[in-house]
Chains A and B, each alone.
Chain A
Amino acid sequence: MSMEILEPTTTAATQVIAYAARPAALAGKRVALVENTKFNSDKLLQRIGELLKTEYGAAECTMYRKHNASVPAHQEIIEAIRTSADVMVAGVGD
Chain B
Amino acid sequence: MATLTSTRYRVDDAAAAIDLCFEKGWTDGLPVVPPTEAAVRAMLDAARLAPDAQVAYIRDRAVAITAEKVAINAVMAGCMPEYMPVVVAAVEGIGDPRWGYHGPGTSTGGAAVLLIVNGPIARELDINAGDNLFGPGWRANLTIGRALRLVMRNVCGSLPGLLDRGTVGHPGKLSYVIAENESESPWTPLHVERGFRPEQSTVTVMAAEAPHQFYNQLSNTAEGVLTTLADNMRISGNVMGQPHYCLVIAGEHMRTIAASGWDKKRIRQFVWDNTQNSHAHLKRTQRMSGAVEAGDEQKMRPLVASPDDILVVAAGGRAGAFSCFIPGWSSAKSSAAITKEIKR
The chain A residues found within 8 Å of chain B, CB to CB, are: 1-10, 12-13, 15, 39, 67-72
Pick the most buried of A4, A10, A13, A69: most chain B CB atoms within 10 A of its CB. Answer: A10
Closest 6 CB pairs of A and B: A70-B103, A7-B7, A6-B6, A8-B154, A8-B72, A9-B154
Contact A70 B100 (CB under 8 A): yes
Quick one: which of A5, A69, A71, A72 contacts B20, CB cutoff 8 A?
Answer: A5
Distance A67 CA – B102 CA, assembled complex (angstroms): 14
What are the residues of chain B within 8 A of A67 when measuring CB–CB? 333
What are the residues of chain A within 8 A of B9 when measuring CB–CB? 4-7
Contact B11 A2 (CB under 8 A): yes
With both beta carbons as reference points, the residue of chain B lying nearest to A10 in the complex is identified as B155
Identify whether the interface residues of B are mostly helix, strand, loop, or mixed.
mixed
Shortest CB–CB separation between residue A7 and chain B, in angstroms? 4
Interface size grouping (class) on chain B: 35 or more
Distance A9 CA – B158 CA, assembled complex (angstroms): 11
Answer whether residue B310 sits at the interface, using C-beta atoms and an 8 A cutoff: no
Pick the most buried of A2, A13, A15, A71: most chain B CB atoms within 10 A of its CB. Answer: A71
Distance A15 CA – B40 CA, assembled complex (angstroms): 30
Distance A5 CA – B100 CA, assembled complex (angstroms): 32
The answer to whether A13 and B62 touch (CB under 8 A), given A2-B13, A4-B10, is yes
Q: Mark B275-299, 1 if CB is under 8 A from A, else 0.
A: 0000000000000010000000000
Distance A1 CA – B12 CA, assembled complex (angstroms): 6
